[in-house]
Chain A
Amino acid sequence: MLLQIHEPGETPEPHALERSQAIGIDLGTTNSVVAMVSGSHPEVLRDSHGEGLVPSVVAYLGEEPVVGKAALAELPRHPDRVIASVKRLMGRGLGDVKRLAGALPYEVAENDKGGMVRLRVGDRVVSPVEISADILKALKTRAEEKLGHRVEKAVITVPAYFDDAARNATKDAARLAGLEVLRLVNEPTAAALAYGLDSAAEGIYAVYDLGGGTFDISLLKLQKGVFQVLATGGDSALGGDDFDHALAEWAMKRTGIAGLTSGEAKILLQAARAAKERLTMAPGAELKATIAGHEIRQSIDRGTFEVLIEPLIGRTLRACRQVLEDARLTAADVKGVVLVGGSTRVPLVRAFVADFFKQQPLADIDPDEVVAVGAALQAHALTRGSDTLLLDVIPLSLGIETMGGIVEKVIERNTPIPVTKAQDFTTYQDGQTGMLIHAVQGERETVDACRSLGRFELTGIPSMVAGAARIRVTFAVDADGLLTVSAEERTTGVKAEIAVKPSYGLSDEEMATMLRDSLTHAREDMERRLLLESRVEAERVLLALAAALKADGGLLGPAERSEVDRAASGLRQAVAGEDRARIHAGMEALDRATHGFAQKRMDLAIQAALKGQRLDEVEAGMATDGAP
């Protein structure tokens, strides 16, 4: 039995402002896809050749970056100016980058500050966030050309196993591309949405998502339009790229080639990828590449390839076991297994997954496109309203550093989001007036083995003996999986708060500079968004006032009424204009003008209550219909 409540949707929408078309984007390691719902069906947006996949590759040759197939075509001639697989660097430091025989397939710029890696591309230095933004801009343009008007809002998918730093980096990239992120949705959840809505499935489903650079396994409970994630796990540095690495290393060993430049590493990895893709269909393939004038030609059969990749697939199955254990389920409880990601085309992957879950996995939606389709469905649900609901969890535990570099967990992995949790800490020295708060993410017990998300200091703690202070640290994770940390000394109320800017993220100044330098009009886009947000807020206030006047307008005398009306029409005029400051001034003026009215309404309700009428009777008298 639910409480009787009003349907908020029953209030008429004043404006179609918030109803603009939103797109769904799968920003992948190897390929990206953009989709949207037109009419009632999700549709992948394709190029003139019917190709939906946009290679996540950017070439920096002239003024404008080139994205996609055209960029990939430049790789053999300009390996130093073409960047692929940049998603693996999102929110990452230099130490996280995988090398091929000591050579990075990226040329990393010197960076004395630590933090996220920067790449040297010809004569310029770009961050992974900017490169991702260029890919997003290309996808945005594809959608705008198709639709014939501007696109400003998107749902963007991220691997469920992405940590806070990588999620923040993705959101920054969208901002840079002039896209407002309605929601970051986890890739497996998006895939489940695409499947679940299609088949009205109910029960527990596993989504096995092996992409180019990341592996995710999620267990979801599907019932009546609710997609509830039970547990998620994976490896944010394991994917088809690693199959390419294994093949490339094998070829180097066979030919005795060593010491590659970063450009040569890129060329060899692309050749390995091509051979891998052929091996999916054919029993054998040839790996061909020209490196430093030498031609490499190596024949490989599927069996040899499978021996190379078996340990990698084994790692994915270990994560599957863990996630079942986290959800207190067994493989027999799983009603269906959904395959996502291009790497699930590899026959050995399918065989291992079928064997592990004791059933044939589902792949009837193209595994390369299913995530974008789910993202488009969610974008549609968020902008047009829908009965479906995604309830997600946090993939990795969040904690705080304590004495001796030990992590105290504040939020355990697989906790449903949004979530807020607080924990009390104390000082360890007499007279200690400051405390460094270091937020980390991961499952291990020592700080070194976890990812550092950010540090900040709580200062001004009054001098007390050790152990006397009560410092409450609060972790808040929003529906996008992003963390805010705040701290307060409870005996005195001294406060400190930060949105955790990850150690591997961009600083606000860097972001500002990038927006300034951005070739598109990201900054104007942002101004415009702020204006739209102010309008939405002002319209909400006007709507509330109209409802209040309808209910209790009789409480106002003619003079009071005309004062309220004047302020309301002033605000209405401001909303019709383009001046954000004027809208805010109008809202403040209306607030002042309605203060007495609010007081009268409150007094009336209290008098009624004091006369012995019960609150719910007063409400029932005023209520309109509508219950959930």
Chain B
Amino acid sequence: MAVVQQIGGNGANAGFVSCWACKGPVAGRALFCHTCGAVQPPGSVDHFARLGLERSFDIDHDHLEKQYLGFQRVLHPDRFAGKPAKERAIAESQAVALNEAYETLDDPLKRAQYLLRLAGIISEGTIDKTVADQALLMEAMEKREALSEAEGVDAIEQLMVEEGKGAIELLSVISKAFAADDLAAANRAVLRLTYARKLLEEARLKRAALEE
């Protein structure tokens, strides 16, 4: 989908791109062309900027949702139903970018991982392979054993409650670590939370299988 045309090969063009509809200059981050009103492609900004939020772990859910819905109201492809196919496709790519940003920032674990990625602490797809923490590994294995030995719905739910509490505590550890700019500590807690989530998911599946 070649929707951005660079004119004249001037490289970055001082932050301008060419509007696909009227071909006039438009700021790289603008949602609509100031000359002809045409919706512009999403461009590459981070998820926080896309939703007009400050880059931080502590974000207010209601505010996040309000921002997300506010942008969807003007950019969703349904707002462009009678418009040319190209315009609808651009609106769709905007909605895709908004959904991705919202999904990432709405979940505290994904949000924390994303912040660590932005900071260069972790890179994509390496989350599971960076386990150097032997104690954490042992602990995770023990918990998994306990789950496989748990018989009956009650025993599983007991485990889930404990793990759920642990997950909530980890969130506050992560929040404090980010606030103190201690990214190594945040990374460790994020890793623990990843394990806790996995265990909870497995427990849920086991409980569902028992209830069938």
Q: Is the CB of B77 within 8 A of A418?
A: yes
- Complex Cα distance A451/B85, Å? 30
Q: Is the CB of A390 within 8 A of B78?
A: yes
Q: Name the distance in Å between A204's Cβ and chain B's nearest Cβ.
A: 13
Given contacts A2-B67, A389-B73, A424-B125, contact A602 B13 (CB under 8 A): yes
Which of B24, B37, B71 has a CB less than 8 Å from the CB of A2?
Answer: B71
Q: Is the CB of B8 within 8 A of A599?
A: yes
Q: Is the CB of A6 within 8 A of B32?
A: yes
Q: Is the CB of A6 within 8 A of B34?
A: yes
Q: Is the CB of A598 within 8 A of B82?
A: no
Find chain B residues with CB under 8 A from A606 CB: 10, 13-14, 16, 25
Which of A1, A7, A544 has a CB less than 8 Å from the CB of B22?
Answer: A544
- Complex Cα distance A10/B32, Å? 12
- Complex Cα distance A10/B125, Å? 45
Find chain A residues with CB under 8 A from B81 CB: 182-183, 382-383
- Complex Cα distance A491/B37, Å? 39
Q: Is the CB of A226 within 8 A of B69?
A: yes
Fill in one digit per residue for A544-579: 1 if any B CB lies within 8 Å of its CB, else 0.
110110011000000000000000000000000000
Q: Is the CB of B38 within 8 A of A544?
A: yes
| 21 A-B pairs in the complex with CB atoms less than 8 angstroms apart | A1-B52, A2-B71, A6-B32, A18-B82, A226-B72, A381-B78, A383-B82, A389-B69, A389-B78, A415-B99, A479-B95, A537-B86, A540-B38, A544-B38, A547-B36, A601-B23, A602-B23, A603-B8, A605-B14, A609-B16, A622-B34
Q: Name the distance in Å between B203's Cβ and chain A's nearest Cβ.
A: 12
Find chain A residues with CB under 8 A from B39 CB: 8
Q: Is the CB of B21 within 8 A of A3?
A: no
Number of A positions contacting B (CB below 8 A): 66
A391 contacts the other chain (CB 8 A): yes
Given contacts A551-B24, A605-B25, contact A325 B204 (CB under 8 A): yes
Which of B52, B83, B102 has a CB less than 8 Å from the CB of A536?
Answer: B83
B35 contacts the other chain (CB 8 A): yes
Which of B24, B30, B96, B208 has a CB less than 8 Å from the CB of A598?
Answer: B24
Within 8 A of A (CB), among B11-60: 13-16, 18-19, 21-25, 27, 29-39, 52
Which of B36, B82, B96 has a CB less than 8 Å from the CB of A418?
Answer: B96
- Overall SS of chain B's interface: mixed
Q: Which residue of A lies closest to B99 (CB)?
A: A416
A19 contacts the other chain (CB 8 A): yes
Q: Name the distance in Å between B82's Cβ and chain A's nearest Cβ.
A: 3
Instruction: Please list the 10 inter-chain residue pairs (A to B) with the smallest Cβ-Cβ separation, ordered nearest first.
Output: A18-B82, A605-B25, A598-B23, A544-B22, A547-B36, A544-B21, A382-B81, A544-B36, A537-B84, A609-B14
Chain B CB count within 10 A is highest, among A536, A543, A547, for A547
Q: Name the distance in Å between A2's Cβ and chain B's nearest Cβ.
A: 5
A507 contacts the other chain (CB 8 A): no
Q: Which residue of B lies closest to A601 (CB)?
A: B24
Number of B positions contacting A (CB below 8 A): 55
Q: Is the CB of B14 within 8 A of A610?
A: yes
- Complex Cα distance A91/B100, Å? 30
Fill in one digit per residue for B57-79: 1 if any A CB lies within 8 Å of its CB, else 0.
00000000001011111101111
Which of B25, B70, B92, B208 has a CB less than 8 Å from the CB of A602?
Answer: B25
- Overall SS of chain A's interface: helix
Within 8 A of B (CB), among A1-23: 1-3, 5-8, 10-11, 18-19
Chain A CB count within 10 A is highest, among B33, B36, B39, for B36
Q: Name the distance in Å between B12's Cβ and chain A's nearest Cβ.
A: 10
Find chain B residues with CB under 8 A from A290 CB: none
Q: Name the distance in Å between A425's Cβ and chain B's nearest Cβ.
A: 12
Q: Is the CB of A615 within 8 A of B15?
A: yes
A420 contacts the other chain (CB 8 A): yes
Q: Is the CB of B92 within 8 A of A479?
A: yes
B163 contacts the other chain (CB 8 A): no
Using a CB–CB distance below 8 Å, which chain B residues touch chain A?
A: 7-8, 10, 13-16, 18-19, 21-25, 27, 29-39, 52, 67, 69-74, 76-79, 81-87, 92, 95-96, 99-100, 102-103, 125, 204, 208
Find chain A residues with CB under 8 A from B85 CB: 533, 537
Q: Which residue of B lies closest to A1 (CB)?
A: B52
Within 8 A of B (CB), among A374-429: 381-383, 387, 389-391, 415-420, 424
Q: Name the distance in Å between A601's Cβ and chain B's nearest Cβ.
A: 5
Q: Is the CB of A226 within 8 A of B99?
A: no
Find chain B residues with CB under 8 A from A603 CB: 8
Q: Which residue of A lies closest to B25 (CB)?
A: A605
Q: Is the CB of A8 within 8 A of B23?
A: no
Q: Which residue of B lies closest to A541 (CB)?
A: B21
Q: Is the CB of A183 within 8 A of B78?
A: yes
Find chain A residues with CB under 8 A from B84 CB: 533, 536-537, 540
Using a CB–CB distance below 8 Å, which chain A residues touch chain B?
A: 1-3, 5-8, 10-11, 18-19, 182-183, 223, 226, 228, 322, 325, 381-383, 387, 389-391, 415-420, 424, 476, 478-479, 533, 536-537, 540-541, 543-545, 547-548, 551-552, 594, 597-599, 601-606, 609-610, 615-616, 619, 622-624, 628
Q: Is the CB of B92 within 8 A of A418?
A: yes
Given contacts A5-B30, A478-B92, contact A540 B87 (CB under 8 A): yes
- Complex Cα distance A419/B94, Å? 10
Q: Which residue of B lies closest to A419 (CB)?
A: B99
Find chain B residues with CB under 8 A from A424 CB: 125
Q: Which residue of B lies closest to A225 (CB)?
A: B73
Find chain A residues with CB under 8 A from B8 CB: 599, 602-603
Find chain A residues with CB under 8 A from B7 CB: 598-599, 602
Find chain A residues with CB under 8 A from B103 CB: 415-416
Find chain A residues with CB under 8 A from B16 CB: 602, 605-606, 609, 615
Given contacts A540-B87, A594-B23, contact A479 B78 (CB under 8 A): yes
Find chain A residues with CB under 8 A from B76 CB: 389, 391, 479
- Complex Cα distance A505/B87, Å? 29
Q: Is the CB of B92 within 8 A of A226?
A: no
Q: Which residue of A lies closest to B21 (CB)?
A: A544
Chain B CB count within 10 A is highest, among A391, A420, A424, for A391
- Complex Cα distance A599/B23, Å? 8
- Complex Cα distance A3/B52, Å? 7
Q: Is the CB of B37 within 8 A of A6?
A: yes
Find chain B residues with CB under 8 A from A548 CB: 22-24, 35-36
Find chain B residues with CB under 8 A from A390 CB: 78
Besides A6-B34, A382-B82, A615-B16, 18 other A-B contacts (C-beta < 8 A) = A6-B32, A226-B73, A415-B103, A416-B102, A418-B92, A420-B96, A420-B100, A476-B96, A536-B82, A540-B38, A543-B36, A551-B35, A594-B23, A602-B24, A603-B8, A605-B14, A606-B14, A623-B34
Q: Name the distance in Å between A375's Cβ and chain B's nearest Cβ.
A: 14
- Complex Cα distance A201/B32, Å? 32
Find chain B residues with CB under 8 A from A7 CB: 37
Find chain B residues with CB under 8 A from A544 CB: 19, 21-23, 33, 35-36, 38
